[in-house]
Structure 1
Amino acid sequence: MGAWEVKGAAQGACKSWRDVDPMLADRVTKVTAPLGRGIAWEGTEIWAYRDRPQSVSECLAANVARWPDREAYVFYPGGQRMTWREVGAQVDRAAARLRREFGFKKRDRLCLLTAGCPEYVISYLAIVQLGGVAVPVNLGLPAEGLAAQINKVGARGLLVSPDVWNGKLGSLRADLGSVEVVFLTGQEAPAGTLPFAQLTQPGIDPVAHEPVDEWDLCAISFTSGTTGVPKGTMAMHINAIGCAQNVVVAAKGLCEDDVNLCMPPLYHNTAVYADFLPALLSGGKCVVMAAFAPLDAIKLIEAERATWAVAAPIMLWMMMNHPEFRTHDCSTLKKIIFGGHASSETFITQLNSEFAPIAMVNAGSVSESTALGFALPTDDAIRKIASCGLATPNTDIAIFDDDGNEVREPNVIGEVAYRGQQTNAGYWEEPSKTAEVFRRDGFVLSGDWAKIDEEGYLWLLDRKKDMVVRGGQNVYCIEVENKLYLHPKVLRAAVVGVPDHVFSERLKAVVVLKPGHSATPDEIRDHCAKHLAKYETPEYVVFASTLPTNPAGKTLKTSLVDFWGESDNTALARLAAFNASMPPALIDMPHLKVGDSPVTPREALSELEANTDGGRRIARVIDEQGVAGLTTPNEARFRK
């Protein structure tokens, strides 16, 4: 049994934006997913906007017809500028050649392996016009990871930048069995590739292709960032449109006069579904950054008069705290969506002070539910600051226990799930994994622990896999992080569990202080003790200059488990930093082991300093396994 088991009708206890706004309630209606279309939750009734376009291509065609000479895209740093007429013409030509000269047809996959550029946008829109599937691929993966995703979807073609081809994929061409054609951006095309410009040359008429409706696939995005077998979640046109419409609502309206600054990389869901496609839906200009840099973003807001953006909080923080921020005019940026998790009051206050936005919305979801399942209304930004808000207008949010029963009592923790217009069809060619995540009643399980309070607001607590179990007590890291953000000196914080022979895990906080501030581990622990239970108070406190993040701005916590500061990498320095991170009571407690022999941190450090036989053995463990090699019990959950 599991949370995927359907036990009666689940309604979703989370309040929705449609429940608090009668106008939004009138804009949505119930629709039923058709049978026989490969949708895991076929036959299920969901909320959807009444006035939705039927495909991504319909949005493009409308913009070309209404505003042919308005600017559609600006690309940075390339400097290219395109009108809707130019975009439409190039998309038509690329689609026609993909069809006639290269045999692309409905459901064929085109993988996109380039940063934000004209070729990316044209390729994305051309393949979906044919009824094909765009597959953005994470450029941060190693060559084997890129190949795994390409092969997973059986891509017929690739769009690749020269640096990715020459640095990663070119040497693996023979391993990409399904790939029939490779298009390269830029001026040159090495042997075995073709220049993308060949697709957009004049001299070809638009081509007829199979009809496309809202239940057809338009994209596949991967939920795994490893070189192992990834999961590709299948987005339909109705999902992409539904997310774009939610962004428009959250931003308090977008139109052709609005200008988007797309800061996240275009291979990420946030950029595609929450920046690129809402701009397409509204007809406004989209300024695409190939790579984020805070000063570049600041200058682009000023130069292009950007009015809205969806970005990771760390991006916005880096901009606001850049030394040149106030020397540039960013006053036009008035509609800001960010997050995916609770935000600190310090961040919200600064955001409000620096931009004075009319819309300031914390929002997010999981990849399987596109990008905007929940959103905290601007009016609640401070009152409910640690909450993630309400279900978006076309979404239901429910909490399930481990047996698949809906949890309807307030403040009872379970796994949060989303259902609605954004729910993807399932995983690409993964029926068993699809069945474990996509419930037959339309709810897609998130893997997040959460609760819903008495007012119907959602509170995300932690990833199920990231929850720390200390001495049998469950600790939700995000709750500890939220309390850390109340400390006036704390800029950023991440909480993880360190394996432990006594408690199974002990809590650790990695803290980035605000510029010009200093603090001690005891000061941070004392602060936490005022706001948290004893078992929730971090025992280890480590300071860092920054936290590792993925391109979407989410903290990469795995590397923090055995991070003990930015000292040199010798075994002695690492163990000394480990000892300095803990309270005095732990120094003389034998919670480390060398082989089967318990040892205290003080004893271990003394042995290491004296270079005894025992010290050399400790050094070997640290060199080979890290300090965690001394703390980790022989339990299955800690074995790699």
Structure 2
Amino acid sequence: MTQNFWKDKYPDGIASEIDPDRYPNVQAVLKESCKRFADKIAFSNLGQTLTYQELYTLSGQFAAYLQNHTDLKPGDRIAIQLPNVLQYPVAIFGAMRAGLIVVNTNPLYTAREMQHQFKDAGVLALVCLANMAHLAEQVLPNTEIRHVIITEVGDLLPPLKRLLVNSVVRYVKKMVPAYHLPRAIKFTDALAQGHKEVVVDALPASDDVAVLQYTGGTTGIAKGAMLTHRNLLANMLQCQVLMACNMQEGREIVIAPLPLYHIYAFTFHCMAMMLLGNHNVLITNPRDLPAMIKDLSKWKFTGFVGLNTLFVALCNNEHFRALDFSALKVTLSGGMALQHAAADRWKEITGCGICEGYGMTETSPVVSVNPIQHCRLGTIGIPVPSTDCKVVDDDGVAQPFGTPGELCVKGPQVMKGYWNRPEATAEVLSPDGWLRTGDIAVIESDGYIRIVDRKKDMILVSGFNVYPNELEDVLAQLPGVLQCAAIGVPDDKAGEQIKVFVVPKPGTSLTTEQVLKHMHDNLTGYKRPKYVEFRDSLPTTNVGKILRRELRDQELKKLSA
């Protein structure tokens, strides 16, 4: 396929190209939007709102603190380890305005996972929630981090409500384990110190890295995808074009239940919605459905961004079904395959169809999406503007319409490469800019794309990539394990769940409980196996490589029997 092929595939009113050089950097968009939409709500959470002007003021205070009260300089890395709270966008944009590279970090990470990411990225500063400060205390001695800013859930709420919320979290729910970080500073104190200073906004070049977003890529242990300012700007402009016919600037209220540290939610809510001046309702804990539904009931929301498991859970809740959906006009799905049954039920209940898209961390993330005007279930739609797609065979030869092959992507949103991993970059990114996704797809003659299989052994749990290599490395550290393997098995709710196979060492005795506890202690929630099976041996190749595909085939046969 070529760019010309896609030009006539877009519905009327949607441009086939964008100008990725329209803005020099993300800061320019932030400044423009916060001026244009100054009095509009940018984010709300726990009953508190933050206007675009307030976002600009607070992010400036945080940037001024970083510039005047630390030794950090432009290009240094700062890890942001927060759930969906108002402090997240303040910290993100403040760090960018100070010229720092943001390293998004899952707040549910174990100490081992945190340490890997912080060391690999060379992180020098950390913003984290008090709830996981005890883990930060464990890993700091093994990292280069020298600045720690700690915040509590309610820190940007009005004083009395802040005291109440933070006290309940700390003393009633006991969600803040004891920690000792004498050199850390409170987020509120950092803002107060920055308030006394003048911020000098950094002016990074468009090709400078803005975010290090960690992923397993198409293989192996987590790597940092270098997403430049131009990458992020391109993707937010691509989203803007596709939503222009359905979302009005400064008038939409969009529900944000997916974690902002995940590239899907990060780009959509912090980047694309900023460009449009719209309101994002941050859901701190989407697993708490009653609390989430209570939040939803307060707003005449017009947009909802989710994934299959969340759609299913909500549609099965009677209180959700009783909400007023009269204003809802856009529902977007990504992160994992959308099931037909889930999409049908959502439309039946809300009256709004779901548009499925496709992306990956390495593409900032959006590659393709179903246009709202012409949504086709079972496909990932057509490429976003200024994006080429093709499918190739194992030799790299482009395949004709209707023939499966590995999906390759080229566009201004494709990453610069993996941080400090030129060999890994060369494996997936060609010199002329084509990214190999590792997914097997079919491109139809009308331009719509279907994902039919995954080339690699990646497991997809509720939209999160899980890589067997990491699981097996952790499991192999358990005394008594001789061989092990991890695969994904079908699951109605999560898409896939993890199953591990263990061959115990001769003369040793292992239990399922021991395996699960070991994995629980070393892996974040979505990476933990649900099933354990002990075997005398595992299928291998002639050179001893474990055949995960054969294990998957065996499991599928059991399910179909």
- What's the TM-score bracket when you normalise by the shorter of the two chains? 0.7 to 0.9
Given that 2:237 and 2:272 are in contact with CA atoms closer than 8 Å, whether structure 1 keeps it comes out as yes
* Partner deviation per Cα, 1:68-87 (whole Å, 9 max, x = no partner): 232221123xx332222221
- Whole-angstrom CA distance in 2 between matches of 1:275 and 1:283: 10
Partner residue of 1:610? Answer: none
2:394 to 388, 395, 402: 402
> CA separation of 1:309/1:189 partners in 2, compared to 1, >3 Å: closer, same or farther?
farther
2:302 to 291, 307, 314: 307
2:222 to 226, 230, 255: 230
Partner residue of 2:205? Answer: 213
- Whole-angstrom CA distance in 2 between matches of 1:204 and 1:508: 53
Partner residue of 1:559? Answer: 499
Given that 1:116 and 1:288 are in contact with CA atoms closer than 8 Å, whether structure 2 keeps it comes out as yes
Percent identical among aligned pairs is 21
> CA separation of 1:209/1:334 partners in 2, compared to 1, >3 Å: closer, same or farther?
closer
Letter of the 1:626 counterpart: E
The alignment status of 1:175 with 2:151, answered yes or no, reads: no
What is the SS of the residue equivalent to 1:20? coil
- Whole-angstrom CA distance in 2 between matches of 1:406 and 1:158: 44
- Whole-angstrom CA distance in 2 between matches of 1:385 and 1:625: 34
- Whole-angstrom CA distance in 2 between matches of 1:214 and 1:634: 47
Give the CA deviation at 1:459: 1.5
2:48 to 70, 75, 80: 80
Give the TM-score normalised by the residue count of structure 1: 0.67
> CA separation of 1:222/1:197 partners in 2, compared to 1, >3 Å: closer, same or farther?
same
Given that 1:156 and 1:181 are in contact with CA atoms closer than 8 Å, whether structure 2 keeps it comes out as yes
- Whole-angstrom CA distance in 1 between matches of 2:248 and 2:293: 21
- Whole-angstrom CA distance in 2 between matches of 1:296 and 1:334: 23
Partner residue of 1:90? Answer: 58
Letter of the 1:126 counterpart: G
> CA separation of 1:360/1:18 partners in 2, compared to 1, >3 Å: closer, same or farther?
farther
Letter of the 1:162 counterpart: A
What is the SS of the residue equivalent to 1:156? strand
1:321 to 295, 316, 320: 316
Given that 2:386 and 2:411 are in contact with CA atoms closer than 8 Å, whether structure 1 keeps it comes out as yes
- Whole-angstrom CA distance in 1 between matches of 2:20 and 2:439: 30
Partner residue of 2:551? Answer: none
Given that 2:325 and 2:351 are in contact with CA atoms closer than 8 Å, whether structure 1 keeps it comes out as no
Matches within 5 A, 1:487-506: none
- Whole-angstrom CA distance in 1 between matches of 2:540 and 2:496: 23
Partner residue of 2:72? Answer: 104
2:329 to 325, 330, 334: 334
Moved more, 157-166 or 629-638: 629-638
Letter of the 2:216 counterpart: S
Give the CA deviation at 1:261: 1.2
What is the SS of the residue equivalent to 1:19? coil
Letter of the 1:264 counterpart: L
Letter of the 1:257 counterpart: R
Given that 1:110 and 1:159 are in contact with CA atoms closer than 8 Å, whether structure 2 keeps it comes out as yes
> CA separation of 1:290/1:454 partners in 2, compared to 1, >3 Å: closer, same or farther?
same
> CA separation of 1:50/1:155 partners in 2, compared to 1, >3 Å: closer, same or farther?
closer
Given that 1:341 and 1:363 are in contact with CA atoms closer than 8 Å, whether structure 2 keeps it comes out as no
1:638 to 539, 543, 546: 546
* Partner deviation per Cα, 1:220-260 (whole Å, 9 max, x = no partner): 1111399x852000111222222223333444334111112
- Whole-angstrom CA distance in 1 between matches of 2:501 and 2:293: 34
Paired residues, what number? 468
1:66 to 36, 61, 72: 36
Give the CA deviation at 1:559: 1.9
The alignment status of 1:125 with 2:119, answered yes or no, reads: no
> CA separation of 1:138/1:16 partners in 2, compared to 1, >3 Å: closer, same or farther?
farther
> CA separation of 1:70/1:20 partners in 2, compared to 1, >3 Å: closer, same or farther?
closer
Partner residue of 1:436? Answer: 427
Letter of the 2:119 counterpart: N
Letter of the 1:450 counterpart: A
* Partner deviation per Cα, 1:70-122 (whole Å, 9 max, x = no partner): 2221123xx33222222111111111121122132221111011212222211
Matches within 5 A, 1:43-62: 48-49=18-19, 52-62=22-32
Partner residue of 2:533? Answer: 626
CA RMSD of aligned residues (A): 3.3
Given that 1:75 and 1:117 are in contact with CA atoms closer than 8 Å, whether structure 2 keeps it comes out as yes
Give the CA deviation at 1:195: 0.9
The alignment status of 1:193 with 2:184, answered yes or no, reads: yes
Give the CA deviation at 1:508: 10
- Whole-angstrom CA distance in 2 between matches of 1:189 and 1:560: 36
2:233 to 241, 264, 268: 241
Moved more, 346-355 or 291-300: 291-300
- Answer with 1 or 2: which has the greater Rg: 1
Give the CA deviation at 1:629: 4.3
- Whole-angstrom CA distance in 2 between matches of 1:449 and 1:281: 33
- Whole-angstrom CA distance in 1 between matches of 2:6 and 2:217: 32
1:158 to 119, 126, 137: 126
> CA separation of 1:196/1:189 partners in 2, compared to 1, >3 Å: closer, same or farther?
farther
* Partner deviation per Cα, 1:315-334 (whole Å, 9 max, x = no partner): 12211221212322233222
* Partner deviation per Cα, 1:525-581 (whole Å, 9 max, x = no partner): xxxxxxxxxxxxxxxxxxxxxx4x4xxxxx44432789xxxxxx999xxxxxxxxxx
Given that 2:207 and 2:230 are in contact with CA atoms closer than 8 Å, whether structure 1 keeps it comes out as yes
The alignment status of 1:280 with 2:274, answered yes or no, reads: yes
Give the CA deviation at 1:348: 2.3
> CA separation of 1:380/1:556 partners in 2, compared to 1, >3 Å: closer, same or farther?
same
1:417 to 398, 408, 420: 408
- Whole-angstrom CA distance in 2 between matches of 1:124 and 1:147: 21
Give the CA deviation at 1:172: 2.1
> CA separation of 1:17/1:284 partners in 2, compared to 1, >3 Å: closer, same or farther?
farther
> CA separation of 1:342/1:209 partners in 2, compared to 1, >3 Å: closer, same or farther?
closer
What is the SS of the residue equivalent to 2:297? helix
* Partner deviation per Cα, 1:325-353 (whole Å, 9 max, x = no partner): 23222332221110345533322222222
- Whole-angstrom CA distance in 2 between matches of 1:244 and 1:319: 28
- Whole-angstrom CA distance in 2 between matches of 1:172 and 1:239: 31
- Whole-angstrom CA distance in 2 between matches of 1:200 and 1:189: 22
> CA separation of 1:355/1:103 partners in 2, compared to 1, >3 Å: closer, same or farther?
same
Give the CA deviation at 1:143: 0.5
Unaligned runs of 5+ in 1: 1-9, 29-47, 468-476, 479-495, 497-504, 513-546, 550-554, 563-568, 572-623
Unaligned runs of 5+ in 2: 156-178, 461-467, 469-484, 503-509, 513-530, 549-561
Give the TM-score normalised by the residue count of structure 2: 0.76
Give the CA deviation at 1:296: 3.2
What is the SS of the residue equivalent to 1:637? coil
Moved more, 415-424 or 234-243: 234-243
Partner residue of 1:474? Answer: none
Give the CA deviation at 1:22: 5.5
Given that 1:305 and 1:332 are in contact with CA atoms closer than 8 Å, whether structure 2 keeps it comes out as yes
Given that 1:301 and 1:332 are in contact with CA atoms closer than 8 Å, whether structure 2 keeps it comes out as no
Give the CA deviation at 1:153: 0.8
